[in-house]
């Protein structure tokens, strides 16, 4: 709970009576206009409770013997009440006293992120503050400071009620925003996952298509190579057959010429001796068949 106070326990608005109006100020160290702090009937101080983002606050003015005014704020989230102030060179944490009707009450002080200090009031200190008449702080400035606590009992009760209501609304708003943010992040993660899966599927399809085209290209190149190789084999076979036929023709031609040459040479060396050997006296190639008187023969 102390850490929640350090983060900036603060603020909301409730007045101790319907006739008081809340001042328009925005920071914990900005003093409220004195017109808004007019004393109520009977001389009691009217506590102006103002809502903030995470709680409520009531501004007080501490005065010194010389008349200097130092503004401080009582803040509450409905669970704790703290005294918020500003002072240079504050330690990260300390145990500091305050005096209520000259009685000493020590409380834990924590330094906030903005350099302000928050004195977390114990239950004993808060009870004394409700019943006390004067608040005194000796360590905040070079001079001791004090403030009247008239109307503190009702003011602190209003501060706690306001702080509880404002903090509850703040927690609900934070819970809603957190749920919305988580839902948005979940939807974003789901969309990113779907996009990644879709991209992976598309990449797989593209890779499969590229592989298919590559296989088809390889098959087409192989088919063309086989066709060219078959055509080349056929051309070579035709050429071989043609060459073999030409060689056979040439061989037959040479053999015929050789036979003619040999025959001519033989006839030149050995001329024919009789009529039968001379081809000039050879009978015609066709003789008609003999005819007989008797058809039976």
Domains recognised in the chain with CATH numbers: 2-167 (2.60.40)
Q: Would you state the pLDDT for residue 126?
A: 93
Q: What is the 3-state secondary structure (H, E, C) of 63-106?
A: ECCCCCEEEEEEEECCCCEEEEEECCCCCCEEEEEEEECCEEEE
3 state DSSP class of 241? helix
pLDDT attached to residue 260: 86
Cα end-to-end span (Å), the chain: 156
pLDDT for 273 equals 60
Q: Give average pLDDT by consecutive 10-residue segment, the chain, 297 residues.
A: 33 32 36 37 63 91 93 92 92 94 94 91 93 93 92 91 92 92 93 94 94 92 92 92 90 87 79 58 55 56
Q: Spell out the residues 6+ positions from residue 199 whose beta carbon is closer than 8 angstroms to its own.
A: none
User: Residue 56's beta-bridge partner residues?
Assistant: 51, 76
């Amino acid at each position: 709970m102390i850490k929640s106070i350090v983060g900036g326990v603060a603020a909301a608005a409730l007045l101790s009576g319907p006739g008081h109006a809340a001042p328009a100020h925005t920071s914990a160290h900005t003093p409220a206009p004195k017109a808004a702090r007019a004393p109520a009937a009977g001389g009691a101080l009217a506590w102006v409770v103002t809502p903030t983002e995470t709680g409520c606050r009531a501004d007080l003015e501490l005065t010194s013997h010389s008349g200097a005014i130092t503004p401080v704020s009582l803040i509450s989230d409905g669970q704790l009440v703290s005294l918020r102030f500003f002072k240079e060179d504050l330690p990260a944490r300390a145990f500091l006293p305050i005096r209520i009707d000259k009685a000493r009450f020590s409380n834990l002080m924590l330094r906030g992120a903005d350099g302000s200090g928050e004195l977390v009031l114990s239950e004993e200190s808060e009870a004394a503050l409700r019943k006390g008449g004067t608040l005194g702080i000796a360590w905040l400035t070079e001079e001791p400071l004090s403030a009247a606590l008239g109307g503190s009992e009702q003011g602190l009760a209003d501060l706690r009620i306001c702080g509880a209501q404002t903090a509850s609304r703040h927690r609900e708003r934070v819970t809603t925003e957190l749920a919305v943010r988580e839902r948005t992040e979940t939807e974003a993660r789901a969309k990113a996952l779907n996009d990644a899966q879709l991209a992976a599927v598309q990449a797989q399809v593209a890779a499969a298509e590229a592989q298919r085209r590559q296989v088809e290209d390889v098959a087409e190149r192989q088919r063309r190579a086989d066709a060219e190789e078959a055509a080349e084999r056929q051309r070579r076979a035709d050429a071989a057959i043609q060459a073999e036929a030409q060689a056979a023709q040439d061989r037959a031609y040479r053999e015929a010429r050789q036979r003619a040459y040999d025959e001519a040479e033989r006839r030149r060396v050995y001329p024919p001796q009789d009529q039968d050997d001379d081809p000039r006296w050879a009978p015609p190639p066709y003789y008609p068949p003999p005819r007989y008187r008797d058809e039976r023969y």
